Chain A
Amino acid sequence: MADLLSGQLLIAALVLAGIYGLVALGLNLIYGTMRLLNVAHGEILMLGGYLAYWCFTLTGVGPIWSMFLALVLAGGFGAVVYRTLCRRVLRSARLIEQIEANSLLVLFGVSIILQNAIALSFTATARAYPYLDDIVRIGGFQVTADRLVVLGIGLALCFAVILFFRFSGTGLAIRALIEQPDAAHLVGVDVERMRTIAFALGFGIAGVAGCLISMLEQVSPFMGFPFTIAAFIVIILGGLGNIAGGLAGAAVLALIEVYGVALTSASMRSILIYGVFIAILVWRPQGLFGRRSVVR
């Protein structure tokens, strides 16, 4: 039991919370502003992971630098996916339920295509690279430097995003679109532009998260799906469309996962995660922090 109090577990939980927070953020933005269910979100993360891997392996450029490239490339990819695919889904659907269902199918297709395209190009073999794996001692415990870097960047990025949504005009406009879409149109929010930005930002952050994860885990074409699921659980915990709630939800899920696995065994991971998923859907579908939403 003494292990449970160790710094390693706490760091592991915080690192995981930061990553879940980042991945869920993009999913939440895209769902919140458009009601599109982006099941390809984990694949964007996977692409970010591969980008970091190849940058490091071929040119020696570390993920700390390649993540800027990932932000731009994944962000641009997000804008393209919105303009080519998702805008059609939004236009052809008449009901919110249709948007959710149609986007689920279209983006599931995107997800499969991306997985297989990467598997074809680089084979299905999992890959890893050594980066910042020296051990750092802080106080009484030891931790590898890469974890500290991931934690620091993850937290800084979450914080930057919160500041962006709180204080910038664009952030305010995107929040308006999440809260009250009709009124956002009325006050003059340029809706098409905000949707493109939401996609670019969501995908870009997922790309960065992929770079960070590649420092800790192997990259493979199929690594994305568990993160998609985790991200869905996080935003359901935090409340759909609730950005700050999502970050808190990420912390809750990461704590449950890391400490739950430590108390039981690694094979319990999926059971724990899906257990949380189902429990929340049954008992608190409005999320841990959400008000019960008004049925319209």
Chain B
Amino acid sequence: MLEIDALTAGYGEIRVLERVSLDVAEGSITALVGSNGAGKTTLMRAVAGLVPVSGGRIALEGADLASAAPSERVERGLALVPEGRLIFPGFSVEENLRIGAIAPHAKAGRAARMAEMYALFPILEQRRRQPGGTLSGGEQQMLAIARGLMSRPRLLLLDEPSLGLAPAIAQSLFDTIVAIRGAGVTVFVVEQDIRSTLEIADTAYVLENGRIALSGTAAALLQDPQVRQAYLGL
């Protein structure tokens, strides 16, 4: 689905990612974990086209994304739910969902998809006329995910979806991620809650200082002594 090959990227002179390679298989939940500052968010933003790439290749379903503007990447079926959510605070919940379907291919069936989103997150329907900025953190995260799904993505990128959420809400969020994959959307997730993420993921990569340090099936990484010691505190 998504192939990243020897990707090098950063901001100005600062290189954040050093020849990172990874694959996200169609229909999978693939996780990228690592400590703060490892470069996870930079990788996500590079895939979405918000950070310039200085070397390597990013391909979606075999097609190179190098020259594609962010809006073209959405058009090709990629959606990023960014770290910090970045919902539109002055827009109503419903307007946030409408703008989620602004890409030309997403216009058809918009009303039906909005109804699906309200079924997936009933609290959003209750709050549909409220400005997005007045929602709680958990509700804003739901809104950000729903907005991403409104563009009819085949690949959904989630950047730190559980950040700042209460544990019970975070847990239901992981259940939601499983449900989204169940609906046929491939999920690539970056998380700092490494245990919960490895429990729902199929494949996982560990990013350290801009390089892939470890990779394998999520189940194997959960058992890996190095991961257990460095990231799970066991």
Residues of chain A having any CB pair with chain B under 8 Å: 169, 172-173, 175-176, 179-180, 182-192
The interface centre, meaning the residue of A189, A190, A191 with most chain B CB atoms within 10 A of its CB, is A190
Task: Decide yes or no whether B99 CB sits under 8 A from chain A.
Answer: yes
Residue from the list A172, A179, A182 in contact with B102, Cβ < 8 A: A172
Given contacts A172-B99, A191-B69, contact A186 B88 (CB under 8 A): no
- Which of A172, A179, A184, A186 contacts B48 (CB under 8 A)? A186
Contact yes or no, A187 B50, CB < 8 A? no
**Once the chains bind, are B71 and A176 in contact (CB under 8 Å)?**
no
A188 to B89, CA, bound (A): 18
> With A and B bound together, what is the CA distance between A279 and B185 in angstroms?
54
Interface locus among B54-62, B79-87, B114-122, B216-224: B79-87
Cβ B80 vs Cβ A186 within 8 A? yes
Neighbour of A179 across the interface among B75, B82, B91, CB < 8 A = B91
Some 29 contacts from A to B, beta carbons below 8 A apart, are A169-B98, A173-B102, A176-B88, A176-B99, A179-B88, A179-B90, A180-B86, A180-B87, A180-B89, A185-B70, A185-B71, A186-B48, A186-B50, A186-B70, A186-B74, A186-B82, A187-B79, A187-B100, A187-B147, A187-B148, A187-B151, A188-B70, A188-B75, A188-B102, A188-B151, A189-B99, A190-B69, A191-B71, A192-B69
Contact A176 B91 (CB under 8 A): yes
Q: Nearest Cβ distance between residue B166 and chain A, in whole angstroms? A: 24
Chain B residues with a Cβ closer than 8 Å to the other chain, count:
28
Who on chain B is nearest to A182 by CB?
Answer: B86
Q: Looking at the complex, which one of A172, A179, A182, A189 makes contact with B71 (CB distance below 8 Å)?
A: A189
Given contact pairs A172-B98, A183-B88, enumerate 13 new A-B contacts (beta carbons under 8 Å): A173-B99, A175-B88, A179-B91, A182-B50, A182-B82, A185-B48, A185-B49, A185-B70, A187-B74, A187-B79, A187-B147, A189-B102, A190-B69
Say whether B25 faces chain A, with CB atoms less than 8 Å apart: no
Q: Quote the shortest CB–CB distance from A83 to chain B (angstroms).
A: 16
Chain A residue at smallest Cβ distance from B157: A186
The distance from the CB of B21 to the nearest CB of chain A, in whole angstroms, is: 24
Residues A169 and B86 in contact in the complex (CB < 8 Å), given A175-B91, A182-B50 = no
> Which of chain A's residues have a CB closer than 8 A to the CB of B66?
none
Choose among A173, A175, A183, A191 the residue with the greatest number of B CB atoms under 10 Å from its CB. A183
